[in-house]
A and B are shown apart, each in its own frame.
Chain A
Amino acid sequence: MITVKKLVKRFGPIAVLRELDFEVNSGEFVALLGPNGAGKTTLLRILSSLMRPTSGFVQVASYRLPSQGASLRAKLGVVSHQPLLYGDLTAAENLQFFGKLYSIGPNRIPEILDLVGLLPRRDDLVRTFSRGMQQRLAIGRAILHDPTILLLDEPHTGLDQAAGEILDRILKDVALEGRTVVMTSHDLVRSAELASRLVLLSKGKIARSTSTINLAPTDLVDFYKSGLEGGQS
């Protein structure tokens, strides 16, 4: 589903991603971990066609990037740590607006709102929503057009425990529908719960990769620490 080979991204003289290789199979839920500055957000932005690679091979859902970015976007749903929503529009109006951009009619809107638990607040301005609610609506926006791939950039940022749990439940439901998901995160434990595979990014390259099946908490910590200290696997 996603193939990345020798990806390089430079900002002027500074290289953030250095010949990165990365693969995600269809239906996988991959959590991308790593310290700040490792390049997680950059990688995600490139996969979502928002950023162009400096060099390398990137293919998402059989579309080459950056050349076929426009075609990819119809199949892509993105949740960022910013809500990407208009505060002065209601929840329903936000979905209506984005629906028009994706050529989706208004029929799906109540269904989506219900899925993320916001149906009773459909006519309230997004400005009045808590952060958790905004993130839920953001997920609703991301799946409105039934994308095959979901990219999430640290979606749990700024959420309290309860809100985080609600988000997790929605993510599990959504992911179960056969979508391929890539999520960046700082939260080791949460990622191990949600994802089927953990990938560690360090200094612009993949340092470690492991399945989450039968992964003990101590293994988890080892995975992270050794990945950062050591070289690549």
Chain B
Amino acid sequence: MLEKPRLLTGLDILSALMVLIAAGLVFFYAPVEQLMGQVQKVFYFHVATAWVGMLGFMVAGVAGVLYLRTEQEKWDIAGLGAVEISLVFFMVAIMMGSIWARPIWNTWWTWDPRLTTAAIVELIYAAYLLLRSGLDDPGKRARFSAIYAIFGFFSVPLTFISIRLLRTIHPVVIGSAEAASQGGFNMDAPMKTAFFFSLAAFSVFFVNLLWHRIRLGKLQTEVIQLRIQSYEKES
């Protein structure tokens, strides 16, 4: 029976704390932006969640390669977990993007490269999960998922570049006066602190979630094995 490692409990506390502090920094420490008002605060979480989405995406690709090489079940669970977490975080990022976009540009959705690519990644995840659900043999399921994750890993950057070459409205967030006219803004020191701390907090949160998810997967496997063993003892 897998006992919950104490390190994990420690990580739980750490990530909860960090996220709380990040929220505090965002809402109370960072100043309210001149032009956009309170809505701009969404930005911190929007970028942080999108960042976690990307982390998950990369972890899934790497886990795929590692699974093919080692055939250890934990890499399969890690890949699946990364996809699941990334799916949710990208969804949150997209929604926050809409919340921000509406008052600023008067539209819910823009076909800009980053947003569109995020939507495409969500579709790839959906395809990934559908693929898994159509396979009963655990070995095949793990192998095929790994391969699809690897393909996604290569395809998405190319897709992003292609779309980028097509068009762009996404704000150039950090920097110039031009940025302001595009709907961007300059970041002063307290903003930067809040921003980078949010990124860090959410990264820790991601690792925390992934660890829990891997544990869950291992426990599930153990349950199945115990069940089979008990059936055999009966017969």
Contacts and interface: CB of A to CB of B under 8 A. Distances in A.
Interface of A: 11-14
Nearest to B222: A13
Contacts of B139: 11-12
A14 B225 CA distance: 8
A14 B221 CA distance: 11
A13 B137 contact: no
Nearest to A14: B228
14 contacts: A11-B137, A11-B138, A11-B139, A12-B137, A12-B138, A12-B139, A12-B221, A12-B224, A13-B138, A13-B221, A13-B224, A13-B225, A13-B228, A14-B228
Interface residues of B, number: 7
B49 to A, nearest CB: 34
Contacts of A12: 137-139, 221, 224
Interface of B: 137-139, 221, 224-225, 228
A75 B225 CA distance: 39
Contacts of B221: 12-13
Contacts of B224: 12-13
Contacts of A11: 137-139
A37 B151 CA distance: 36
A146 to B, nearest CB: 34
B109 to A, nearest CB: 42
Nearest to A11: B137
A12 B221 CA distance: 9
Contacts of A13: 138, 221, 224-225, 228
Most buried by B among A11, A12, A14: A12
Nearest to A15: B228
Nearest to B227: A13
